[in-house]
Structure 1
Amino acid sequence: MKKKYKKFAHIAVIQYVACLLCFAITATTATAAKLVNKPAPVCELTTLDGQPVESLQALKGEVVYLDFWASWCPPCVQSFPFMNQLQQEYGKQGLRIIGVNLDEKIVDANVFLDKYDAEFAIVADPTRQCAKNFDVIAMPSSYLIDREGVVRYIHRGFRPGETDKLRIIVEQLLRHQP
């Protein structure tokens, strides 16, 4: 009888934890959803060597593909060639890709970048406040920002099968001239 009770208690705990996780994911997703169709949060980003860079608000008139990444993230390795390709194809049409590194040690980011070429801007978020403002909960997390500085789409993670959808959204944003 005790074994059955322990098994039941174990299942109940698992279900309880699963419910908490679902609530946390839903709450976080709801927070991120509040960013869509709103101006991009203000961020203080730097170069990897600590020099300030222009704000996202200064990039109005361009479509911004803002991608938060880290060296320890396997999907980030897969996303870099895609972002390089987008930058090559659409850069002259006004696409600006910015990779925001969230590594604790910049040396880790530099080792990653020595292996995986980035043909787009790489910046750092030393205080992690920008990642908090954008509600980054997965790596990579990408935010597509229109020419008016408004967040139009959020994409978490990276799977090669999703590139067509991302490309279509980028093309739509580039066609829109305010």
Structure 2
Amino acid sequence: MSFKILIIMTFLLGSVNARANEPAHGSAAGAAVAARVTDKYAHSWIAFPALTLKSLSGEPLAPRIAIKGRVLITVFVASWCIPCQQLMSDFKRIALQYENAYTDVIFVFAHDTAPDAQAFASFHKVTPSSFLGTAKVLEDFHQPDLPSIYASDRYGWLVYRKLNAKIDDVKELEGFLELHNSF
């Protein structure tokens, strides 16, 4: 009989201790844990937003959408952004490497003037794939930190995002493109 009581008490104390290590319901610590734990991106698909852009000369263009069957890489840059200047040669290399592999790489100049964006794009020789961002596109992408990389898969879903990109993120992007262009 005492053995049964000992076993029951062991299970009860174990469950009490497990609950004691969790933050109290409604506490600030509990809210912080709840904010970190989400299934928003794991259980719902997010369509790649349409890009409402302007040409580098300032003319409005038709909204650009992810084309089914092609990967769309959107890189947000600015001429005054030092990390953008440092990573631009890597972005250009990726654009040239994958241009015949069902991949479109476009550069969206955020918070930049048209003359500065034109000079930056012509210096780096990416003028045909460079556009000025509009307030709508910056709102749709939640005012991304620069440089930022967004990618769609071949079905038009947002599948890759890197804010405030670094050189390691460019290598990760190349791995992503190898995976999505392997067939």
TM-score (norm 1): 0.71
What pairs up with 1:19-58 in 2 under 5 angstroms? 37-57=45-65
Shift of 1:83: 1.6
Matched, 1:85 2:93: yes
| Greater share of helix | 1
Residues 118-137 of structure 1 aligned to structure 2 (within 5 Å): 118=126, 121-126=129-134, 128-137=135-144
Q: Which amino acid aligns with 2:67?
A: L
The one of 165, 175, 178 equivalent to 2:182 is 175
**What are the Cα deviations for residues 75-120 of structure 1, in whole angstroms up to 9, with x where unaligned?**
1112221121112211101110010111342112123224333276
2:103 aligns with 95
Deviation by residue 1:59-87 (Cα, 9 ceiling, x = unmatched):
22210110111111111112221121112
* 1:110 partner letter: Q
Count, aligned residues:
147
Q: Which runs of 4+ in 1 moved over 6 A?
A: none
Segments of 5+ residues of structure 1 without an aligned counterpart are 1-22
Q: Distance in 2 between matches of 1:53 and 1:63?
A: 20
Q: Equivalent residue of 2:97, what SS?
A: helix
1:74 is matched by which residue type in structure 2? Answer: I
Whole-angstrom distance in 2 between the partners of 1:94 and 1:147? 9
Aligned Cα root-mean-square deviation (Å): 2.7
Q: 1-side partners of 2:140 and 2:52: how far apart?
A: 11
What does residue 74 of structure 2 align with? Answer: 66
Separation of aligned partners in 2, 1:97 and 1:167: 12
Q: Pick 1 or 2: higher relative contact order, CA cutoff 8 A, min separation 6.
A: 1
CA contact (8 A) 1:87 1:96 kept: yes
Bigger radius of gyration among the two: 2
Q: Alignment partner of 1:68: what SS?
A: strand
Identity of aligned residues (%): 22
